[in-house]
């Protein structure tokens, strides 16, 4: 049985003007005890570019395929999802808690225009891989003067 990751297409991701941050964004890097709002985490991502494609890899171990959302425009991609905390086996006290849980969202602005109709995604062993086809550059046309 094949499973698919849902990809949404759109024009805008409701971004803020450059340099502006929501107040809650300023507190995400602080110790979790001091977070004022819902905690977000940022999975590690790589962007690799070839002559014809842009490939994005995201390390999102522990996230279920159904909890991943991908939205694409010709200039940007938004990857979001949720990783649920597994309850401890026995009651106890954490001595170290570095694994991040909860929602995540990354908006990546692409280095070149892509064709939103030619996007594919796969998810295996905790890695999400998204392949985006670049729009070929138009060759300049020579115009004859009349």
How far CA 127 is from CA of 7, 41, 79, in Å, comes to 16, 16, 13
Residue with the bigger pLDDT between 20 and 66: it is 66
Residue 120 confidence (pLDDT): 96
In a domain, 20, yes or no: yes
In a domain, 46, yes or no: yes
pLDDT tens readout for residues 100-132: 889 999 999 999 999 999 999 999 999 999 999
CA 67, CA 20: separation in Å to the nearest integer? Answer: 28
Instruction: State the pairing for strand pair 76-83/114-124.
Output: unpaired
As given in the structure block, the two tokens for residue 9 are 């297409």
In a domain, 1, yes or no: no
Asked if 121 contacts 58 with a C-beta cutoff of 8 angstroms, the reply is no
- Domain with 52, as residue range(s), is 7-86+100-134
Indicate whether 15 pLDDT > 60: no
Residue 36 confidence (pLDDT): 41
* Domains contained in the chain, number: 1
In a domain, 115, yes or no: yes
Confidence of residue 25 (pLDDT cuts 50, 70, 90): very low
**What is the chain's mean pLDDT, rounded?**
80
Confidence of residue 70 (pLDDT cuts 50, 70, 90): very high
Contacts of 144 (CB under 8 A, 6+ apart): none
In a domain, 34, yes or no: yes
In a domain, 146, yes or no: no
Residue with the bigger pLDDT between 96 and 7: it is 96
In a domain, 79, yes or no: yes
Query: What CATH number has the domain bearing residue 43?
Result: 2.60.40.790
């Amino acid at each position: 049985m094949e499973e698919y990751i849902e990809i949404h297409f759109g024009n805008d991701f409701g971004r803020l003007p450059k340099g502006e941050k929501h107040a809650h964004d300023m507190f995400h890097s602080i110790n979790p005890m001091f977070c004022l709002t819902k905690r977000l985490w940022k999975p590690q991502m790589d962007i690799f570019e070839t002559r014809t494609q842009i490939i994005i890899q995201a390390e999102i171990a522990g996230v279920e395929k159904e909890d991943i959302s991908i939205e694409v425009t010709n200039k940007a991609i938004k990857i979001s999802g949720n990783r649920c905390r597994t309850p401890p086996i026995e009651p106890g006290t954490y001595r170290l808690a570095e694994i991040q849980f909860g929602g995540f969202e990354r908006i990546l602005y692409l280095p070149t225009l892509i064709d939103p109709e030619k996007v594919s995604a796969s998810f295996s062993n905790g890695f999400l891989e998204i392949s985006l086809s670049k729009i070929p550059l138009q060759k300049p046309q020579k115009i004859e003067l009349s």
